[in-house]
Amino acid sequence: MVVVNDQEIEGISGYLGKSSSQVRNDHVRPIGKELSLTEREDGDCTFLDGETRRCLIYSVRPRQCRSWPFWKSNLKSPAAWRETERVCPGAGIGELASLEEIKAKAELIDI
């Protein structure tokens, strides 16, 4: 589930050259009081390219995606971080993020 807000839907709409109504109809569903991007049958986000495994809206991706893997739930303990690394092959490798960057991303969304 990728939670989105109206501003993010507008950004996606502009990027795709579609109306926000069209994006809502084609790619968004309500979940309780929130809105989420839809998923395919395999659970992948509708905007994840199945072949390349790359985001099709990367430059306007929602804050939930922009803040990954630095969600508060992933940072709460060393065990939580190890689980994040276990389920996401990209977590824990690559360039180190600064503490300031980690904190900023963790504040984007409360997950």
Domain ranges for the chain: 1-60, 68-111
pTM summary value:
0.85
Per-residue confidence (pLDDT) for residue 93, from 0 to 100: 86
The three-state secondary structure class of 33 is: coil
Measuring CA to CA, which residue among 60, 63, 57, 79 is closest to residue 71?
63
- pLDDT, tens digit only, all 111 positions of the chain: 999 999 999 999 999 999 999 999 999 999 999 999 999 999 999 999 989 989 999 999 999 999 999 999 999 999 999 999 998 878 888 888 999 999 999 999 999
Taken in order 109, 37, 68, 111, the sign of the CA dihedral is positive
Per-residue confidence (pLDDT) for residue 94, from 0 to 100: 84
